[in-house]
Structure 1
Amino acid sequence: MGQIFGARTAKEHAAHLVPYVQSHHHILDVGCGLGSITADLANLVPQGEVIGLDPNPKTTEAAKEAAAAKGIANITFVDGDAHDLARYESASFDIVHAHQVVQYFHTPVKALTEMRRVLKPGGILALRTSNHLTLWPTDPTLEKEQAWFAEFVKARGGNVGAGWYLHTLVNQADFAWKEIRIGSACWEFSGPDGLAAWRAGTVGSARASLMGAGYGTAEEHDEIARAHVRMCERGDARVIGLDTTILARK
């Protein structure tokens, strides 16, 4: 999924947040991945600063290189875990943002409570998290891969459908109900260009993780790859994701 995640933009994937970003804001982007959204946010705060936080050192290194190539100076990438933000003082950030991350938290309320702690009074927590992914036409081989991935995430304490109750988690992290704005966002890969992008970014992307955890043989994953290719070669195939968005004021 690296190519897909590396092409994310703030305008499209953080649209619920962008209208509230001011040029002087200090932003923490939790689980920033390859940093494409992080870089967009940095461009929106020329008098401010953005810190991208991710637990994977290889990912943060790639994000640093990408930001440097774009000449973005007000951005920093660091290795770290959202469950422990002790390096940051309380009330340090105007915005804490996380895109497609909460579903992987093993103790999400603890992480969200830490994210609240580092927000300034009146600051914004901005989240977007997966509810459901639909592939059409249906294919038992691809459904098996989705089921394996859901089990893989669950075994590590996460939930691929965490978006359905994201608002409850945020409330449990001590955000008042009246300060939580809930929304939905849908994304899609279809048509020749969309399906080509899905194929390039998806085929084989989960293979190593799933096989390493005991899900499937090499032969089964070869068949999964072929099923993705078959789907993407159909002119009428669609990949649709439904997400929950949250804006919460401290």
Structure 2
Amino acid sequence: MAQAPGGELAGAVLVGAMWWYAGAVLYPAQALKRAGLSTIRPPVGAPPEPLARRGLGAYFSRRHKRPVLLEAPTLHDHLVGEFDRVAEVYDAYVQPFSQPIFDEALAEMRPYLPADGRVLDAGCGPGRELQRVANLVPEGEVVGVDLAGGMVNVAHRAARARGLDNCAFFQADVSHLPREFTGKFDLIYSSLAHHHYPDPAAAAASAVRCLRPGGLYCVIDPGPAWYNVLSAPLARWADPGWVGFHTPDRFCALFRDAGFARASWVELLPGFGLAIGQRAVRQGRATSSGASLKG
């Protein structure tokens, strides 16, 4: 089981620091941004090419009414043991910090989420963000993936309790997504989970494989160098399973190396942004209705 080096005390310090940063920085910055007084920097890189097309619709949620769990251990199970332990209460600790960040990320992703879009949440945790996205794609679906089986079960129960039947849940390593996912998604997103990925390059390559032509991989995470320098020591000491932060330039290079045709970074709030990779658009199939990719 991966526990923070500082133990339970470190965990309490981390939660306190997150809540302080949210109250002192994130929520005020969000209010200023919405009032048109933001100091958010402009995007960098090559933004995604807009595509006028239908989404892939529902598929996995019609075939998997219960969570699909792994039958054998994986190489990275030791990184998620602590998340299994706190799955039932995790959201209560994280939500005050993560909500303004995801609010802004969702506003950026919204134009790429048609009502019939098929979306993958890579590192879904207890599924709060997944539920919000599922409500935006009533004719499509959201598939939640997490290596922590406890999180997968909690997310499944929460979605069912809210009457969401356009969701499916898989226990899987984001670096080795199921083969049945190949080419099956319009958009893949990861919310505040990328810094836990032990192999970001493999995760990016896995995302490329699972996207349809022109599909997007959206990573919500810390990025600016100043934030990473200030927060990495605390994260290393207190965040179970923490691996490392990326800068915007490093995200763009990671995506290009993985095979994405376009890569960009959009700053959301101080310290956090949205890295976007777009798979190459193939002539013909990418601009069709998507019917040939429905299965």
Compute the TM-score of the two structures, normalised by the length of structure 1. Answer: 0.65
Q: Which residue of 1 aligns with 2:132?
A: 40
2:39 corresponds in structure 1 to: none
Alpha-carbon distance change, 128 to 22 in structure 1, aligned in 2, over 3 angstroms: same
Closer/same/farther in 2, CA of residues 168 and 244 from structure 1, 3 Å limit: farther
Structure 1 vs Structure 2: percent identity of aligned residues?
Answer: 23
* 2:69 counterpart residue number: none
SS in 2 for 1:83: helix
CA contact (8 A) 1:150 1:160 kept: no
1:15 and 2:107 are equivalent in the alignment? yes
Counterpart mapping for 1:6-85 below 5 A: 6=95, 11-85=103-177
Q: CA deviation at 1:99?
A: 1.1
Which of 145, 165, 173 lines up with 2:258 in the alignment?
A: 173
Distance 1:76 1:91, change over 3 A: same
Asked if 1:5 is matched to 2:90, the reply is no
Separation in 1 of the partners of 2:95 and 2:157? 12
Q: Which residue of structure 2 lines up, in the alignment, with residue 182 of structure 1?
A: 265
Q: Aligned Cα RMSD in Å? A: 2.7
- Single out whichever of 26-35 and 7-16 deviates more from structure 2: 7-16
Equivalenced residue count is: 184
Greater RCO structure (CA 8 Å; 6+ sep) = 2
C-alpha separation in 1, matches of 2:145 and 2:124: 6
Structure 1 residue 92 and structure 2 residue 184: aligned? yes
In the other structure, the counterpart of 1:124 is: 216
**Residues 48 and 165 of structure 1, relative CA distance in 2, 3 Å threshold:** same
| Long gaps (5+) in structure 2 | 1-14, 16-89, 280-295
Q: Which residue of structure 2 aligns with residue 149 of structure 1?
A: 235
Q: CA deviation at 1:111?
A: 0.8
Shift of 1:169: 1.1
Q: CA contact under 8 A between 2:191 and 2:220: conserved in structure 1?
A: yes
2:63 maps to none
Alpha-carbon contact 1:30-1:52 (below 8 Å) kept = yes
Q: TM-score, normalised by structure 2?
A: 0.56
Greater percentage in strand: 1
